[in-house]
Structure 1
Amino acid sequence: MQDDRTSSCFPGVTAVDRLHAADLQALHSYWAGLCEGAEVPRRSDINPRHIGGLLSNAFIVERIAPGVTRLRVAGLHLNALMGMEVRGMPLSSLITPAARETFALALVDLFERPARLDIDLHAKAGLGRPEMTGRLLLWPLRSDLGDVSRALGCLVTQGDIGRASRRFEMTSVRVLPLDDSAAPAAKPNEALHGGLRGEWPVRGAARRRAHLRVVK
């Protein structure tokens, strides 16, 4: 049975989410509980003890340029996916080169709107690399200076990792308001703040398309 509360926070719940439904809901509720009105939480407000069962999947990124982020703290699952220590690496290292332009535009919205991101992922099978699916969630955070330049993230996957490094296509990208009851959805082809549009295909993704859209 699908958890309706999880569905309301994360539209399009998949099999990946059902494996982690309670933990994903708890992590979202933790972040939302730290919000002060329209203000997103500060990076210093995040306590790893409250991340619970997703600690190995969680990470913190820092915005270093528009559309570019660097991993400041990362759970062991991200290290396993890349086969190396990922701290200090761009978050886009986990994304296929063909999808990185679209990913960068989504990151602009994450920090400049600000907004939440909910991204479906797919990694093709290859030699020593089984097919994988995943979900990447990002919540904006403020630095101690008050600017929105940090983000809390979580990457959950389904399938064996096999031979690292693993990189993912994006099959859909959802730009979500901070408050689930706020901000109407953008109309199809309506330009978003960071240059995204209602429908945006990932270049070079064979038979798979990533769609960027604002969700109520």
Structure 2
Amino acid sequence: MFGTGGKDRGIVSMTDRERQKRLEPLQLVERYWRELAAERREVPLRSEIDPRRIENALEYAFLAERIAPGLAKLRVSGSHLNDLMGMETSGMPLSTLFSSAARETLSDAVTRVFTEGAMAQMRLSGEEGFGRDGLEGDLVLLPLRSDMGDMTRMIGALVTTGRIGRTPRRFDIKSVSVQLPDLAATSPETKAEPARTTAKTPTIPGFAEAATPFEGAPPSGGKKRPHLRLIVSND
């Protein structure tokens, strides 16, 4: 605590300040998601995510896909998640980052994200033991739709405070908040720029999924080739 004297007068909590700074990557991801949702007035598409818009949070961010009720698989994950587990986490279930006691609570939250389009926020506490000191964390989960329109994708971010120590580090859930966002509301910060689709947007290494090439129609100014040709033979 840092203050200027007097009972509770001019006191600034350094713990709160550090926590707010730690939460900045989560706030950036959530703010960007809200901007996209406000433009469309519905849950954004996975293909609309432009990693350049959350560049300062990519280390902590991830993309996941629904593989079963209440279960999501990490498709792309930032380096911080890899550091926490001591291995590459892409392709692993999100639940791998959690203790067995926390997985039912996580499953309930993931289910609501996918079925209701809800936002989930969690306060986390790392399991302690030999080589594993106290580790606090915060997690946000936000729904996304696939190109088919089904709500089977999500974007999220996980930040921690404390020394990672001996890996893998798994978390217990201290508290969870799940709420339905107002998709018609605009961002409280600034109006979003037009969303860029990943089909034409250069992606940032480490936060991109392999894309299927798209072949567009021929230029309108060019000569169109007929689909059928009439061949006449007098033989």
TM-score (normalizing by structure 2): 0.68
What's the secondary structure of 2:58's corresponding residue?
Answer: helix
The yes-or-no answer on 1:153 pairing with 2:167 is: no
Match of 1:101 in 2: 104
Hey, which of these two has a bigger chunk of strand by percent?
A: 1
Q: Larger deviation: 37-46 or 162-171?
A: 37-46
Listed one character per residue, the Cα deviations across residues 121-163 of structure 1 (whole Å, up to 9, x for unaligned) are 0013311111100001011000010001000000000001001
Q: CA contact under 8 A between 2:84 and 2:169: conserved in structure 1? A: yes
Greater Rg, structure 1 or structure 2?
2
Residues 63/95 of structure 1: CA separation in 2 closer, same or farther (3 Å cut): same
Give the 3-state SS of the residue equivalent to 1:64 in structure 2.
strand
Q: CA deviation at 1:99?
A: 1.2
CA distance in 1, matches of 2:88, 2:52: 22
For 2:85 and 2:136, the matched residues in 1 are separated by: 15
CA distance in 2, matches of 1:148, 1:15: 35
* Contact kept? 1:68, 1:90, Cα under 8 Å: yes
1:166 aligns with 2:166: no
Once the two structures are TM-superposed, the CA of residue 53 in structure 1 deviates from its matched residue by 1.6
Task: Identify which of structures 1 and 2 has the higher relative contact order when contacts are C-alpha pairs closer than 8 Å and 6+ apart.
Answer: 2
| Cα offsets for 1:60-93 (capped at 9, x unmatched) | 0000111010000000000000000001000000
Contact 2:25 2:60 in 1 (8 A): no
Provide the secondary structure at the position in 1 that maps to 2:59: helix
Contact map agreement 1:58 1:153 (CA 8 A) in 2? yes
Secondary structure, aligned partner of 1:179: coil
Code of the aligned partner of 1:134: G
1:121 paired to 2:124: yes
8 Å contact from structure 1 (residues 67, 106) kept in 2: yes
CA RMSD, Structure 1 to Structure 2 (Å): 2.0
Of residues 138, 142, 151, the one that matches 2:141 is 138
Residue of structure 1 in register with 2:29 after alignment: 27
> Distance in 2 between the 1:32 and 1:176 partners?
13
Distance in 1 (alpha carbons) for counterparts of 2:153 and 2:34: 15
Q: Which letter does structure 1 place at the counterpart of 2:21?
A: L
User: After the TM superposition, which residues 8-19 of structure 1 pair with which residues of structure 2 at under 5 Å, given as runs?
Assistant: 17-19=19-21
List runs of 5+ in structure 1 lacking aligned partners. Answer: 1-12, 183-216
Query: Cα deviations across residues 4-55 of structure 1 (Å, max 9, x unaligned)?
Result: xxxxxxxxx9666412344433322211111145410000001111112211
Deviating more after overlay: 120-129 vs 160-169: 120-129
1:107-132: CA deviations, max 9, x gaps?
Answer: 11011111000011001331111110
Q: For 1:124 and 1:73, how far apart are their aligned partners in 2?
A: 24
Q: Which residue of 2 aligns with 1:86?
A: 89
* CA 170–14 in structure 1, closer or farther in 2 if over 3 Å, else same: farther
- Residue correspondences, number: 170
- Where structure 2 has 5 or more consecutive residues not aligned to the other structure, the ranges are 1-14, 186-235
Amino acid at match of 2:160: T
User: Normalising by structure 1, what TM-score?
Assistant: 0.74
